[in-house]
């Protein structure tokens, strides 16, 4: 099976712009979670989508949003970018929602905000 794929792999934006990141889960997986990884804060949970519905949300401002499509692919959007949004954004998929699941991570999208 192909793994989790994320596009684009690298992105450079300027402050105030918005950005959309894409994640394709492993075939058959219906849950997609997003994480932000920075040197200072480590890995932090953004949100989880399952069956096109947001199941859970981390402690991030409303500028961070997402959605999931009927084929389980997910997109994450960040509006009005700030310098502090520079990070590696990781997507993880699992077969279902629920805590007793292993998550499979993608390679990430490296976002740089100038």
Binding site for other proteins (CB under 8 A): 31, 33, 35, 42-45, 48, 50, 55-56, 58, 90, 92, 94, 97-108
Q: Which residue, 1, 17, 3, is CA-closest to 112?
A: 17
| Residues contacting residue 62 through CB under 8 Å, at least 6 positions apart | none
13/58 with CB nearer other proteins = 58
DSSP notation for 8-74: -SEEEE-TT--EEEEEEPPTT--EEEEEEEETTTEEEEEEEEETTEEEEE-S--TTEEEEE-TTS-E
34/113 with CB nearer other proteins = 34
19/29 with CB nearer other proteins = 29
Residue 112 CB, nearest distance to other proteins (Å)? 17
Residue 56 CB, nearest distance to other proteins (Å)? 4
Residue 108 CB, nearest distance to other proteins (Å)? 6
The first and second tokens of residue 45, run together, are: 């949970």
Q: Which residue, 114, 89, 82, 92, is CA-closest to 38?
A: 89
49/81 with CB nearer other proteins = 49
Residue 89 CB, nearest distance to other proteins (Å)? 12
């Amino acid at each position: 099976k192909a793994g989790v794929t994320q596009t684009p792999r690298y992105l450079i934006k300027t402050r105030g712009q918005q950005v959309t990141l894409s994640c394709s889960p492993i075939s058959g997986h219906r849950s997609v979670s997003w994480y932000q990884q920075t040197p200072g804060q480590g890995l932090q949970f953004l949100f989880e989508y399952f069956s096109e519905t947001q199941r859970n949300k981390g402690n991030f401002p409303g500028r961070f949003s997402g959605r999931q499509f009927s084929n389980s692919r997910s997109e994450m959007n960040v509006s009005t970018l700030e310098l502090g949004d520079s990070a590696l954004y990781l997507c993880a998929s699992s077969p279902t929602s629920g805590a007793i699941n292993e998550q499979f991570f993608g390679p990430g999208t490296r976002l740089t905000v100038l």
